[in-house]
Amino acid sequence: MSEKFSRLSSQLYGFSCKAVDELSEFNGRGVLYVHEKTGLTVYHLETADPENLASFVFRTLPEDDTGVAHILEHTVLCGSQKYPTKDPFLYLAKSSLNTFLNAMTYPDKTVYPVASVVPKDFYNLFRVYADAVFFPLLKPAAFRQEGHRLEWDHQGGLQRSGVVLNEMKGNYSSPESVIYDAVQRSLFDEGPYHFDSGGDPHAIPDITHEGLVKFHQKHYHPSYCLVFLYGNLPVRQALKILSREVLPSFQIRPLPEPFPLQKRRQERRIVETVYPGSEEEPGTVALAWLTEDILDFQTILVLEVLTEALLGDGGLLQKALLEAGLGEDLSPVSGLETDLREVVFSVGMRGVPAEQATQWEAFVLDQLSVWAHEGLPQELLEAVIASYEFSLRELRAGGMGLRYLRRLMRTWLHGASPRDSLIIAERLQLLKDQLSQGLPVFQQVLKKYLLENPHRTLVICRPDPAVFQQDEELEKEQLAELRMKLTEAEIEQLKIEQEEVRQFQELPDSPQAVATLPSLTLRDIPRKVDIPVSSWETQQPFPFWVHETFTNEIAYADVGFDLSHLTPDDWLVLPFWLRCLDSLGTKELSYDLLARQLALHTGGFSARATADRPLGHRPEERRLWMRFRMLDEKIENAFDLIETLLKTLAWQNESRLKELLLEMVNDWNSSLVPRGHVFASYRSAAGFSPSTQITELTGGLSQLDFLNTLDLTPPGVSRLSQQCENLTQRILSTSQAVGGVTGNRNAINRMLKRFQSWPELFSERHLSNLVEFPHFSSVQTRRNIPSTVGFHSLTLPASRLGEVGHEAELVLGHLLQTGVLWEEIRMKGGAYGVFASQSSLEGLITLATFRDPREQESFAAFRYGLEFYRDHPLEQQDLSNAILGAISGDLTPRSPSERGFLGLQRSLLGITDGLRQQKRDRMKDLKPKDIRKAAERLIASWDQGAKFSLVPQTGDKGVPPVEVQAR
Ligand SMILES: [Zn+2]
């Protein structure tokens, strides 16, 4: 075992080794180090994974709703002692080969993770983050930019701005966030979880710069810091950096106060709240319980399995609620919240009127008491445990460090050992043993933590269409009042502060400051692209792409059914058809029993539809991709089950169809604001090709509108059922299908053998031609949405993969997103985000903003961005940095199943390994003039572009619609 890992030392750079854990579950070894002089604690999980991760973690318990922890998380990354530029984070995002770079504020902690597959890059990221968290400059201007500030508007009035302020306004525009917040506050009367660590927009203006600095001094100290290191690099170098560059100036501090636990109540409570929504909506109700301390590992595992059995796919409580017809569907707040010290179990339902809330509550409690007395079906519990075991066995890649970080932090932060925090297999085995002995573990937990636990609340949420307007009017009034009260001196002071922010944003960093940042060279980019060994191996019964590789005895099957004959109307129905595929049930198995069988015999079954325009002269690829995975020993069972499922879908079950439909309509409506930028960009791109149009029909506003106009009366549902059944006949046919299999040779042969009988399984379909799409046209270029912030998108024609200039456009897109547009739209404009995304197959570039308070200014900034890179020649170093940043996304490691599927897709779409290598080579050879030419080309195509905006309902109504010819 020990040969796989680096040599252990009991002392390293002032760190003492405190524990060594052999972690066979992870094929790894964990070693705990503590720095003697400062108490800084490091846990190193060494595995064979080349994607190394490092994270700094601080306990940041909020004491109010100002969001100080969140604003600090942002501001810490705006310059530090050793790296005094205004935005080292942005620099790293722009110019490193990171596979992950971010910072997150949780209800009780702040986490700073970085990851890379290139060692030199990894240490660069680690150094900059280490200096940022312990020695940030926290300039007042940075605080105002990221947190909140007052500004003069054009009429001489005051307005408030700030990145976190707008981010949280967006957050509070989503009904789900409002309900989630109400649930959490209702269970915690006091202590950190009573407050919103992200910041309540009403309270954010209360935090001052001094308050921010104090919060940093209190919490960001090595004695209170946990560092997690993960991957295949030995620990030595990271400890050396910490010991020499970070820790010399610190002394150990006494332990922080113990975590304040919530005092348990003896009576249930009712809490009422409002969320932004229309009057026609009935509302949402939720029941939430405060259960056990997260440190009681075995109980929490039982609760996790129980939650899945009650609320997962086909879960008992979910099914009972839907069948009772008490509401529309489960609210996304339902589930077990394990990111808190004391774990919360909630079940919520959308579409329940407030006056029926107590009946609904009584129904839930009655149901629970039935299961508490009679027990839960053994097979259901086994199915949930089987899916846990499957995910432990499966090899994954990309983001493993992040996944372990999240699991580790849940309890390491509260004093558990890292080993206890990480392992699962032993506890799962104990649970299986208890279950096979017939011990009533689940009944006991159900009784103790839910049924007989008085610390619970009934949360009643009513929609209120005026909630934004009231908020905005209140803010306006307060600002006007403030404006009246300002003295001359205060006005002067405000002007000075505004000028400071402007200078901070507009003055470029000095060359000396920029020179402090560590950089890579183009030679650090891996020369060769990753090429999985896989190929077309057989044409029988249809062409199969075969990827033979080690998969830890898991087999993967993909089937791509041809969809070229579907009409636009078919495509509109398709997302619902897909939703039903694994959730409708079959003629023999109701959907909950089907879900159980799927969990017992497969590791997952999923389907999605894609439309792509391949390179070269191939016809468009429109496919339904069906994927399933299974343990090698379950191949026969899994195929039996999937084949029966596809043959006997229960389209006649109209009551279930209606349940699924209501759930889907609700999910889509509530995704509009959180994913506004996606809706806007699908729409702005929709007119460019049949494929982009299909993407919009199935994933954009057209789909949303389609769902909202569906007839939910019995005749309407009946018609839809017939449409779906008809679609099934036309989709499920192996003519023109393709397949892919990944696994060891034996598993591959067994899967191919099973596929031999698939042509007989389905009716024969005559070859059909590609359905031509009518040109997408819409004169509408804006739409109102219920939100306080907007989303704007512009799509321009660009080049495709393989065409000269394509690589320059990719780098230009990266420069825009992280350079000029970031400055103009995020820093100055106060939007939360701006994106440049390219479709290498379509030959399109889309620029889009996220949670954006301004509209015309943002479109003007898009244009300005392109002109900027046309008129300002790049320095060679800036270009190299941008190339590195643009390539980093291609370096994320892939799991065996992803590599197999990617190979298949690339082959169908004409993306050869030669083209991929050519792209890598051309990227590295780019010259500054290539970027200028790319900007010129995009400016030249400006008039062929298309815009789309989602704008706040309460926004400035005086703005005329953007005058663009919609395509
Ligand atoms: Zn944030």
Q: How does pLDDT run across 607-648, given as a tens digit for each residue? A: 999 999 999 888 899 999 999 999 999 999 999 999 999 999
Phi/psi for 765 (5° steps) reads -120, 140
Share of the chain above pLDDT 70, in %: 98
Residue at token pair 């619902």: 576
E-strand stretches of 697-832: 738-743, 782-785, 791-797
- Token pair belonging to 549: 């590789």
Cα 851 to ligand 1 centroid, rounded to whole Å: 12
Instruction: Report the pLDDT value the prediction gives residue 243, as an integer from 0 to 100.
Output: 97
Q: What does each C-alpha distance from 80 to 127, 252, 320, 503, 516 come to in angstroms? A: 11, 22, 55, 18, 11
Residue 238 has pLDDT above 90, yes or no: yes
What rounded mean pLDDT belongs to the chain? 92
pLDDT in tens, 165-211: 988 988 887 788 888 999 999 999 989 999 999 999 999 999 999 99
- Count of beta carbons in the 10 Å neighbourhood of residue 648: 13
Give exposure, 747-767, as e/b (b: 16+ Cβ within 10 Å): bbebbbebbeebeeebeebee
| pLDDT above 60 for 571 | yes
Which pLDDT belongs to residue 245?
95
Residue 890 CA to ligand 1 centre (angstroms): 26
| 230 alpha carbon – ligand 1 mean position (Å) | 25
Cα 397 to the chain's mean position, in Å? 17
**How many whole angstroms from 164 Cα to the centroid of ligand 1?**
6
Residue 401 CA to ligand 1 center (angstroms) comes to 22
Residues 152-162 have a mean pLDDT of: 85
Q: Which of 155-159, 332-336, 601-605 bottoms out in mean pLDDT, i.e. has the lowest? A: 155-159
- pLDDT digit string, tens, across residues 418-435: 999 999 989 999 999 999
Instruction: Indicate whether 962 pLDDT > 50.
Output: no
CB 102 within 8 A of CB 92: no
SS3 200: coil
- Give 768's pLDDT tier (boundaries 50, 70, 90): low
3-class secondary structure, 796: strand
| Out of 20-34, 77-91, 113-127, 942-956, least confident range | 942-956
The rounded Å distance from CA 222 to ligand 1 centre is: 23
Return the pLDDT at 772: 81
Q: Which domains can be identified in the chain, with CATH numbers?
A: 269-463 (3.30.830.10), 535-761 (3.30.830.10), 782-952 (3.30.830.10)
pLDDT grade, residue 24 (50/70/90)? confident
* Alpha helices, DSSP H, located in 194-286: 209-219, 236-241
| pLDDT attached to residue 964 | 30
Flag whether pLDDT at 776 surpasses 70. yes
Return the residue matching tokens 């004491």. Answer: 63
So what's the pLDDT on residue 764? 73
Report whether pLDDT(954) > 80: no
Distance between first and last Cα of the chain: 62
Ligand 1 center to 809 CA (angstroms): 29
If you average pLDDT over residues 506-529, what whole number do you get? 91
Q: What is the pLDDT of residue 533?
A: 85
Query: Token digits for 691?
Result: 């494929």
Residues 581-600: what's their mean pLDDT?
Answer: 94
Q: Is the pLDDT of residue 959 over 70?
A: no
Two tokens, residue 167: 């981010």
Range 21-43 average pLDDT: 94
Ligand 1 centroid–CA 67 distance in Å is 10
Q: What average pLDDT does range 772-785 have in this prediction?
A: 80
The beta strand positions in 663-771, using DSSP E, are 738-743
Per-residue pLDDT at 251 exceeds 90: yes
Query: 3-state DSSP call for residue 20?
Result: strand
- Give the pLDDT confidence score for residue 767 in this predicted structure: 59
Between 395 and 379, name the one with better pLDDT.
379
- Find the 72 Cα to ligand 1 centroid distance in Å: 10
For residue 460, the CA-to-ligand 1 centroid distance in Å is: 28
Asked if residue 836 lies in contact with residue 814, where contact means CB atoms within 8 angstroms, the answer is: yes
Report the separation in Å between the CA atom of 64 and the middle of ligand 1, taken as the mean of its atom positions.
17
CA 572 / ligand 1 centre spacing (Å): 35
- pLDDT tens profile 466-485: 887 888 888 889 999 998 89
Query: Can you spell out the DSSP letters for 695-706?
Result: HHHHHSHHHHHH
pLDDT at position 798 over 50:
yes
pLDDT in tens, 718-744: 999 999 999 999 999 998 999 999 999
Distance in Å, CA 958 to ligand 1 centroid: 31
Residue 162 C-alpha to ligand 1 middle, in angstroms? 11
pLDDT at 958: 35
Ligand 1 mean position, distance from CA 415 (Å): 27
- CA 254 to ligand 1 center in whole angstroms: 30
Average pLDDT over residues 333-359: 95
Residues 6+ apart with CB under 8 A from 685: 692, 695, 696, 793, 795, 839, 842, 844, 846, 946
Ligand 1 mean position, distance from CA 102 (Å): 10
pLDDT of residue 468: 77
Give residue 147 CA to ligand 1 midpoint distance, Å.
Answer: 10
**Cα 146 to ligand 1 centroid, rounded to whole Å:** 9
Mean pLDDT of 50-70: 97
**How far apart are the CA of 701 and the centre of ligand 1, in A?**
27
3-class DSSP assignment, residue 778:
coil
pLDDT tier at 956 (50, 70, 90 boundaries)? Answer: very low
Q: What is the pLDDT of residue 334?
A: 96
For a pLDDT cut of 90, what percent of the chain falls above it?
77
Q: What is the 199 CA–ligand 1 centroid distance (Å)?
A: 10
Task: Place 766 in a pLDDT band, splitting at 50, 70 and 90.
Answer: low
User: Of 606, 627, 645, 644, whose CA–CA distance to 555 is shortest?
Assistant: 627
